[in-house]
Structure 1
Amino acid sequence: MENLINLTDINVVYLKLILNSGLAFLIVTLIKWIIKKILDRLHDEKIAYKIYSIVRIVGNIILVIALTVLWWDYVRHIITLISFLSAAFAIAIRDIILNWFCGVYIKIHRPFKVEDRIEINGIKGDVIEISLLGFDVLEVSNKDEFGQSTGVIVNFPNSSVFSGPIKNLSKSFKYVWNEIDVEVDLDSDINLAKKTLYKIVNEIDVIKSIPRKMKNQISEVNTSYRIYYNTYNPIIYTKIDGPRIVLSIRYLIHPKKARYIMSTISNKIYEANKKGEIVLYKGSE
């Protein structure tokens, strides 16, 4: 120990404080690592993620308290000096402070949560992580309303929540309205075409089970939001557009399943067209 003190020219008291601080950091890190290894064995990844998020926060709080206790007798003597430097320090780290308070705002107000699909600053994606300084979004393509994941992770500072509007496709209830336009000839049998389209949509189990769930979710948020719909079941609207008729299929769907369901419906419409059950508009010849 004396050789180490002589070599580094550090007072023995401060050397002990540094070693104890390092030991505290090592212990907390080791405990978090052990808990993470245990949680990795859980089959439910959502529960494991939530538990480990709490463990990280608690571990960091314990570490801060431990370091404060260790260094308090020496830190308190420079509080007066810190008070003079606090203004300059606050200016230097104003972005960190702002992001921290915005992080608290996100935790309390919850404009979005992990797994929500949001659109912010022109970027759409699924929230995969929220910390006290920023949040990460797994980007989805903007080619259409319900794009597929691009695999790109975008990091936003928490202050982004006040830089513009946030579009949340998952808040309060999980489902959104989607529409598919089907064009048929002007002289088509509209009743038969609609009957065929209703049959196609209502045979899809994912769509069939949503109206009941949506009613329950809207009932739960009626005290917070004034939201209501006349119908929750798929509906088809008719519009004459020149030499064709546009049949708009409107139905509820989970945003993350929308593209798959659109593909399924399109394939079924294509098969119905081949069988003569519906006559699709082919354009002017």
Structure 2
Amino acid sequence: MEVLNFIGDWTNEHPVATGIIKFIVWVILIVAIIGILRRFLRKSLPNTSVRYKSQKGVEIVGYVLIIFLSISYFTGNIKDFTLAIGLLTAGITITLQELILSIAGSFYIFFVKVYKPGDRIEINGIKGDVIDIDSIYTTMMEIGQWVTSDNYSGRIVKLSNAFVFKGPVYNYSKDFPFIWDEFNLPIRYGSDVELAKQIIIRVASEQLSEYVNDSISNWKTIVDKYYIEDALVEPTLALTMTDNWIQFNLRYIVDYKKRRYTKHLLNSLIGKEIEQTDGKVLLASSTVEIIRIPTLDIDQNK
């Protein structure tokens, strides 16, 4: 009884401290419930997508409850300490500004739909596939670095959500899951240029027809949604005369996940077609032409 009386007297004498302690206890209780529910969902739901979205939903609901709890406490039961709370909030904001920006960034990513798990993005100079988004970090499977083309490096990167406010976010898959790619083919002077054009365009059209058809409807959606002009999605060819060869530049549209394989396939098939022209079309290589050999005067006596 003495302990209870002491607690009661202390509570009456220090209402502010009591309110703060209650607030902290409630926050800890909500965080603990969030953790328990997330573990329960992780073990109970078999579907990966449903499990992930359910966990994120529980996490967001928990944060919303904490926000409402904070508002009710700091504007209701602890009115007399508005100044103290203001100073405390200012100090926390300065000290934990990166953390606050990260949390704000997570809400921005969620509501504005900047990107979602499964998207391929480039942010802060890091490119990869998004595999998780939590309240603080975006987790990506890295692409590139010491690995050529769009291949996984094997590293998992955690990036602060605050970076969505600090620079551009390149999304390869949102709204329009296709990208334009190109490569150059050097054709030797004296080759049948028209035949070379026909071979390259025919092979590209045959191999890329599926991407072209799928991208047309997607591109119409982009044109309707954004202020952007219509674009040509069929393969195009441009010629440039250089010192050593005629450069054929093939530009085409491709699924963002199949860029490397598609370039390999086009190069292989076009190369085989050129070999079957019996020398009418020849690939060029760097050459050195000697215009004149200088004469040398040799004095045998010396």
Please give the TM-score of this superposition, normalised by the length of structure 1: 0.76
Change (3 A) 1:242 1:84: closer
The answer to whether the 8 Å contact 1:218/1:227 transfers is no
Partner of 1:222: 223
Aligned amino acid, residue 241 of structure 2: I
C-alpha separation in 1, matches of 2:32 and 2:60: 16
Partners in 2 of 1:103 and 1:210 — Cα distance?
33
Residue identity in the other structure for 1:188: S
Q: 1:221 to 1:132 in 2, by over 3 A?
A: same
Is 2:156 the partner of 1:150? no
- In structure 1, how many angstroms separate the alpha carbons of the residues matched to 2:87 and 2:166? 32
1:189 deviates by 1.0
Number of positions where the alignment pairs a residue of Structure 1 with one of Structure 2 = 270
Q: What is the SS of the residue equivalent to 2:61?
A: helix
**Counterparts of 1:252 and 1:11 in 2: how far apart (Å)?**
73
Counterpart of 1:284 (choices 259, 284, 287) is 287
- Identity across the alignment (%): 26
Q: What's the offset of the Cα at 1:76?
A: 4.1
When structure 1 is superposed on structure 2, of 238-247 and 165-174 the one drifting more is 165-174
Tell me what 1:33 maps to.
Answer: 39
- Deviation of the 1:227 alpha carbon: 2.5
How far, CA to CA, are the matches of 2:227 and 2:149 in structure 1? Answer: 25
- Alignment correspondent of 1:258: 259
The structure-2 alpha-carbon separation of the partners of 1:230 and 1:164, relative to structure 1 and needing over 3 Å to count, comes to: closer
1:1-285 mapped onto 2 (5 Å cutoff): 28-39=34-45, 41-42=46-47, 45-58=48-61, 64=66, 76=77, 80=81, 81-142=84-145, 146-204=149-207, 207-276=208-277, 278-284=281-287
| Cα separation, 1, equivalents of 2:287 and 2:67 | 76
For residue 65 of structure 1, report the CA deviation from its aligned partner. 8.6
Distance 1:272 1:90 in 2: 65
Q: Give the whole-Å Cα distance in 2 for the aligned partners of 1:146 and 1:237.
A: 23
Conserved 8 A contact 2:183-2:251:
yes
In the TM superposition, residue 247 of structure 1 has moved relative to its aligned partner by 1.1
CA distance in 1, matches of 2:89, 2:26: 27
CA contact (8 A) 1:146 1:256 kept: no
Query: For residue 251 of structure 1, what is the amino acid of its counterpart?
Result: Y
Separation in 1 of the partners of 2:26 and 2:171? 46
Paired AA for residue 122 in structure 1: G
Instruction: Give the TM-score normalised by the residue count of structure 2.
Output: 0.72
**8 A contact 2:172–2:256 mirrored in 1:** yes
1:118–1:125 Cα contact (<8 Å) kept: yes
Mapped to 2, the partners of 1:83 and 1:36 lie a distance apart of 39
Bigger mean CA offset, 187-196 vs 173-182: 187-196
Q: Summarize the Cα distance change of 1:85–1:28 in structure 2 as closer, same or farther, 3 Å threshold.
A: closer
- Structure 2 distance, partners of 1:149, 1:251, is 23
Q: Distance in 2 between matches of 1:189 and 1:196?
A: 11
Amino acid at match of 2:140: V
Structure with max Cα Rg: 2
- CA–CA distance in structure 2, aligned partners of residues 261 and 185 of structure 1: 24
Q: Is the 8 A contact 2:56 2:134 kept in 1?
A: no
Gaps of 5+ in 1: none
Q: In 2, distance between residues paired with 1:241 and 1:30? A: 67
Q: d(CA) in 2 for partners of 1:94 and 1:79?
A: 26
- Residues 132 and 138 in structure 2, CA contact (< 8 A), matched pair in contact too: yes
Aligned in 2, Cα 1:185/1:144: closer, same or farther, shift over 3 Å? farther
Distance apart, 1:257 and its partner CA: 1.1
- Match of 1:262, SS state, is helix
**Structure 1 residue 262, shift from structure 2 partner:** 0.9
**Do the aligned partners of residues 208 and 82 (structure 1) sit closer, same or farther apart at CA in structure 2, a change above 3 Å counting?**
same
Does the CA contact (< 8 Å) of 1:32 and 1:59 recur in 2?
A: no
Unpaired runs of at least 5, structure 2: 12-17, 289-302
